[in-house]
């Protein structure tokens, strides 16, 4: 594996103020190669939160607020316990741009005890598997980087076709060099793509970046692939929402939503 074949490279961090990482080209988002797609930072903060989880706990809800562009550069991430309860606990994480000292993203997670044999309800058919999907090129205007670090298999719609879409996704590279992706990291490394999978606007003319990401998980993902079944809703004002249902080969994983900023690219 080449040095750059990961979303992040770990850097020395011995001052007790969190862990340090260098973002690689694989984190670059669709708008510019200078700013990250939000999935890698979400997964990195999820990793920090996982480091604090007691045994037998699982993340039920993960919510991230983007406070500005996350640069493709050096970052510092830290996590802390926000509420330690007898049954449920809440954790928080923070991502800092080392070049400016600015907090660029924050996250919180509610965590619950995982049941070995709990009840099941709300099941729905799994989309056709990744082996049936198409691997298609990006349309004009989309910056490669993160998009090339993901193995895409489209089973409904396509990023070049405005409207709802469903894609199976799996990262081609680890989150941090030398580490295996955990189930939580695997989901978070994919789910922020819902607004792109279901894009209804031409990226060359319109900005539709998300301000936040909220993910509700019913269980940990099993296997390498995550399916994101997404749609975007816009009603003529300056905001929108992209929402998705998440699956793995075994069934339903959860749901996600992203608040979108809608404005002309010329602005």
Residue 13's pLDDT is: 84
For the stretch 128-183, pLDDT in tens is: 999 999 998 887 888 889 999 999 999 999 888 899 999 999 999 999 999 999 99
pTM for this predicted structure: 0.95
Kindly list the structural domains of the chain, giving each domain's residue range(s) and its CATH number in brackets, ordered by start. 8-114+132-264 (2.40.160.210)
- How far is residue 230's CA from residue 235's CA, in Å, rounded to a whole number? 17
For the stretch 245-256, pLDDT in tens is: 999 999 999 999
Q: What mean pLDDT do residues 20-28 have?
A: 97
Element (H, E) at 65: strand 57-66
Q: What does the block give as tokens for 142?
A: 């989309």
Three-state DSSP at 131 gives helix
Q: What does the block give as tokens for 216?
A: 């509700």
Residue 11 has pLDDT above 60, yes or no: yes
Element (H, E) at 187: helix 183-191
- Percentage of the chain modeled with pLDDT above 90: 82
CA atoms within 13 A on the CB side of 151: 12
């Amino acid at each position: 594996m080449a040095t750059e074949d990961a979303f992040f490279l770990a850097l020395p961090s011995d001052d007790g103020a969190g862990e340090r990482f260098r973002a690689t080209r694989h984190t670059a988002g669709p708008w510019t190669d200078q700013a990250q797609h939000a999935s890698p930072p979400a997964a990195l903060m999820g990793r920090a939160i996982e480091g604090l989880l007691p045994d037998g706990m699982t993340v039920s809800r993960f919510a991230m607020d983007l406070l500005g562009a996350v640069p493709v550069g050096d970052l510092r991430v830290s996590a802390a316990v926000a509420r330690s309860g007898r049954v449920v606990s809440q954790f928080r994480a923070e991502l800092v741009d080392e070049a400016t000292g600015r907090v660029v993203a924050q996250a919180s997670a509610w965590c619950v005890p995982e049941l070995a044999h709990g009840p099941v309800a709300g099941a729905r058919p799994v989309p056709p598997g990744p082996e049936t999907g198409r691997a298609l090129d990006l349309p004009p205007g989309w910056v490669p980087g993160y998009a090339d670090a993901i193995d895409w298999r489209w089973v409904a719609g396509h990023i070049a076709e405005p409207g709802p879409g469903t894609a199976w996704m799996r990262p081609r590279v680890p989150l941090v060099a030398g580490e295996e992706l955990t189930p939580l990291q695997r989901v978070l490394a994919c789910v922020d793509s819902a607004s792109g999978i279901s894009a209804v606007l031409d990226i060359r003319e319109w900005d539709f970046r998300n301000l936040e990401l909220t993910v509700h998980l019913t269980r940990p993902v099993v296997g390498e692939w995550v399916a994101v079944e997404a749609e975007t809703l816009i009603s003529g004002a300056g905001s929108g929402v992209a929402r998705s249902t998440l699956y793995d080969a075994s069934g339903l994983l959860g749901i996600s939503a992203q608040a979108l900023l809608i404005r002309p690219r010329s602005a």
